[in-house]
Amino acid sequence: MSSLPIGIFDSGVGGLTVLRAVRRRLPNENVIYLGDTARVPYGMKSRGTIERYAVEDAGFLIRKGVKMLVIACNTISAMARERLRAEFNLPLLSVLGPGARMAARVTRTGRIGVIATEATVESGAYERAIREASQDRGVEIFSRACPLFVPLVEEGETDSQIARLVAEQYLAPLREKRIDTLVLGCTHYPLLKPVINATIGAIGAEDVALVDSAEATAEETAHLLEKRGLINQSADAGVSRFYVTDAAGRFHRIAEKILEEPLDHLEAVEVWGHDKLETK
């Protein structure tokens, strides 16, 4: 079991931030990544649709023989995590919990902003998780949906004038709330970190802390594998395989930019079936 890969999945390229952190923390682990690029974005869809997509995504990875699942998508974490736990008997970790716990640790004033997809914001999952992690010590949480951020990242528009204009529109109300911590509640959003950081500004002499749950998720992945006795003991560097449901060429280009290295293996597949469509 220990030599089996970790399965990581997201609606598109955003979850690559989690994969990158996992590989840095666990360089000997094999990883399979699925990006459901045919159906991105998930954040404006209904709970029932998100649950169905999540089950199909996870089922694909399980058929590939993974030892655990990492939900590298905040929308799935907020809307379908319990459905996945009920469907599959496999260690499972989502990005939402680690991000909320980190926000509760780093805030100085208790004024925390959360930016996420519409579905994640409407679910209230981050608010509940942050209050639980902080034991509700008077924290104030201000949430804002940023639906255009995901398509900007998927198109590679992470440092453009368009991105800056959209960021100003979304983040100005949070800046006025004088938050000291901002949770990037979608794994696509860290790829816009320079634009977000420049837009949200600082409170006094201190920059607003941006909480990217990727590093925390990687650390908790390591702890979970160790607890279950599933750490890969091989001395060899792990191998990563990538699967997408559409637009393999665009994914390949953006993924290599994010990971700063060539992709080991990329295939386009149908997660709702078993047929391989193409190999790149």
Q: List the catalytic residues.
A: 73, 186
Of 112, 177, 111, 173, nearest in space to 146 by CA? 173
Q: And the tokens for 234? A: 């091989």
Which two three-digit tokens encode residue 12? 């598109």
Residue 189 token pair: 């959003």
Do 217 and 21 meet the contact criterion of CB atoms below 8 Å apart?
yes
Residue 149 to residue 224: CA distance in whole angstroms: 31
Q: Burial-class residue 65 by CB neighbours within 10 Å (0-12, 13-18, 19+).
A: exposed
| Residue with the two structure tokens 């901002």 | 182
Cβ contact 280:258 at 8 Å? no
The set of residues, in sequence order, having a beta carbon less than 8 Å from that of 25 and lying 6+ positions away, is 215, 218, 219, 221, 222
| Token representation of residue 246 | 């559409």
Tally DSSP H helices, then E strands, for the chain: 11, 13
Please report, to the nearest 10 degrees, the dihedral formed by the alpha carbons of residues 147, 150, 152, 158 taken in order.
Answer: 120
Tokens 């994914």 correspond to 251
Q: Cα separation of 60 and 173, whole Å?
A: 40
